[in-house]
Amino acid sequence: MTAHLPVLQVVIPLLAATLCAVARRGRIAWGIALATSWTAFWIAIQLLARVQAEGPISYALGGWAAPVGIEYRIDLVSAFVLVIVTAIGAVVTPYALKSVEREIDTTQIPLFYAAFLLCLTGLLGIAVTGDVFNVFVFLEISSLSAYSLIALGQDRRALTAAFQYLIMGSIGATFIVIGIGMMYVMTGTLNMADLSVLLAELGPNRTIAVAFGFLTVGISLKLALFPLHLWLPNAYTYAPSAVTAFIASTATKVAVYMLLRFFFTVFGVVFSFNVMRLNIVLLVLALLAIFSMSLVAIFQTNVKRMLAYSSVAQIGYMILGISLASVTGLTAGILHLFNHAMIKGSLFMAMGCVMYRVGSVEIEAMRGLGKKMPWTMAAFVAGGFSLIGLPFTVGFISKWYLILGAVERDAWPVAGLVLITSLMAVVYIWRVVEAAYFQEAPGDGASGVGAIEGSREPIVEAPLALLIPTWALIVANFYFGTDATFTVELAESAARTLFGLVP
């Protein structure tokens, strides 16, 4: 049983998704999804414990040994990503019950959970597989289900957002396939471990350089690296609240994992950073992303859109860490992968609570909410602190290591920019705080808020079914912000593994 955990991690959500699709009632589908996401979380923890104790796990799918068969390979980095994705899944599923019942048609709810589990399958699959073509297949499973999840949003603009994402996502995926094809032409293998050996033997080569280019652009599209982020703000803004919380904290993270996997494991540090000079490209784009997107976020009137732009900036932080091309920098990047999942997950879930009661996430609609929904807004403020990076929150830990990495490289301007952009986060979080706590609530319906049915009733605190998952993430924000030894050690040994040093 335990020997098959790597494949069960993927197969259980896949099978459960089909069960959800045939379930007639939303609550039954939800029950299946809940059981599945918690099982997946349990498996991920088991895998992480095993990797920490015994080193990387290799699993030959169907008994066909690599490089002929597909290999599932789990090392520290992938186990860490598995835990992040399944943890968010396990927190979002209980939250989804009420939120989805309010925002999605009853008849579509079983299909919603089917798509949700398929998305989870794809994301987990990318993390466990050791075969580059398999990565593409799982990538498309997660992306296609993500497009349909986003299209379920109430606003009709959700449809155009999903279409835009579909176009850009498919271009990205096709670029990745072209890159993989070129690597296959040169080496005749699709296994990652095999590829890294053969590519190193091959030495510098124009085809491989082109493959590298295609993969860089393709993966950057998927992880919404500035300036390829155009699909992201609309998709996050108009998707149903539970979907935004899930996708914002997992999909781009897994894409960052793909970047690490391809550039560190497959191409190798020397080729990626010394020959192709990827670190310079990434550094420039990351700095542009952090600065320009934080600036854009300040001027948004829709809080979900504001958080979406902030997400692009935060992805910039992760890429910045990677582009420093040092163990400390990479540690910061991987650490922020985990930390940002918790930060944005909790913030988007708090916005989901507001959506549930108020029916709008415009800043104008937040006026006076501090009194009417104290727990929800307190969660938002606490999450905001973490986003800014105040001490005792996970945001602080990420930024600490990021600045440490920058200083280690004598990149003082970079460290300065990280601090300045943190102040910009203060500005946009403050705009919400000001509306919620220092402005009077609007007269009934005067501002036109309350678009959805049922919001004519007085606005009260969100139900516990939404608040408990939100606060669970907030508590995690502070717990891992106060005692970061577990995450930091994990991220550091993961970074060492990627650099090929002894963990």
Partner 1 sequence: MEALGLVNYWAFIFLMMVGFYILISQGNLIKKLVGLNLFQTSVFILYISMGKVRGGTAPILTEGDPVYSNPLPHVLILTAIVVGVATLALGLSLVVRIHETYSTVEEDEIHNLDRAEVEGEVGSLDVSRVDARA
Residues near partner 1 (CB under 8 A) are 133, 136-137, 140, 144, 147-148, 151, 154-157, 159-160, 162-163, 166-167, 170-171, 173-174, 177-178, 181, 184-185, 360, 447-451
d(CA 291, CA 285): 10
The phi-psi region of residue 65 (left if phi > 0; otherwise alpha if psi is between -120 and 50; otherwise beta) is beta
Element of type H or E holding 57: strand 57-60
**Which residue number, 151 or 259, has a Cβ lying nearer to partner 1?**
151
Least CB distance from residue 344 to partner 1, whole Å? 25
Element of type H or E holding 232: helix 231-238
**Which residue number, 132 or 417, has a Cβ lying nearer to partner 1?**
132
Least CB distance from residue 267 to partner 1, whole Å? 20
3-state secondary structure of 56: coil
**Which residue number, 86 or 300, has a Cβ lying nearer to partner 1?**
300
Tokens of 175: 């670029």
- Which sign does the torsion angle of CA 449, 455, 457, 462 carry? negative
**Which residue number, 49 or 451, has a Cβ lying nearer to partner 1?**
451
Which letter does DSSP use for residue 366 in this model?
G
Do 207 and 215 touch, CB atoms closer than 8 A?
no
Least CB distance from residue 218 to partner 1, whole Å? 12
Least CB distance from residue 55 to partner 1, whole Å? 30
Least CB distance from residue 167 to partner 1, whole Å? 6
For residue 333, give the nearest of 303, 374, 385, 290 by alpha carbon: 290
Least CB distance from residue 171 to partner 1, whole Å? 7
d(CA 256, CA 85): 13
Least CB distance from residue 156 to partner 1, whole Å? 4
3-state secondary structure of 67: coil
Least CB distance from residue 349 to partner 1, whole Å? 23
For residue 229, give the nearest of 168, 317, 155 by alpha carbon: 168
Least CB distance from residue 328 to partner 1, whole Å? 39
**Which residue number, 140 or 461, has a Cβ lying nearer to partner 1?**
140
- Which sign does the torsion angle of CA 289, 311, 392, 408 carry? negative
Least CB distance from residue 419 to partner 1, whole Å? 35
Number of H helices and E strands in the chain, helices first, is: 20, 2
d(CA 228, CA 302): 22
Least CB distance from residue 29 to partner 1, whole Å? 20
d(CA 252, CA 292): 19
For residue 323, give the nearest of 283, 287, 285 by alpha carbon: 283
**Which residue number, 174 or 292, has a Cβ lying nearer to partner 1?**
174
d(CA 260, CA 330): 9
Least CB distance from residue 143 to partner 1, whole Å? 9
**Which residue number, 18 or 274, has a Cβ lying nearer to partner 1?**
18
CB proximity list for 360: less than 8 A, separation 6 or greater: 354, 449, 450, 451
**Which residue number, 334 or 366, has a Cβ lying nearer to partner 1?**
366
Do 97 and 114 touch, CB atoms closer than 8 A?
no
Q: CA–CA distance from 456 to each of 244, 330, 350, 460 (Å)?
A: 25, 50, 21, 11
Q: CA–CA distance from 326 to each of 79, 192, 220 (Å)?
A: 21, 22, 21
Tokens of 457: 């009733």
Do 174 and 218 touch, CB atoms closer than 8 A?
yes
Least CB distance from residue 340 to partner 1, whole Å? 28
Do 237 and 161 touch, CB atoms closer than 8 A?
yes
CB-facing half-sphere around the CA of 311: CA atoms within 13 A: 34
**Which residue number, 187 or 216, has a Cβ lying nearer to partner 1?**
187
**Which residue number, 27 or 157, has a Cβ lying nearer to partner 1?**
157
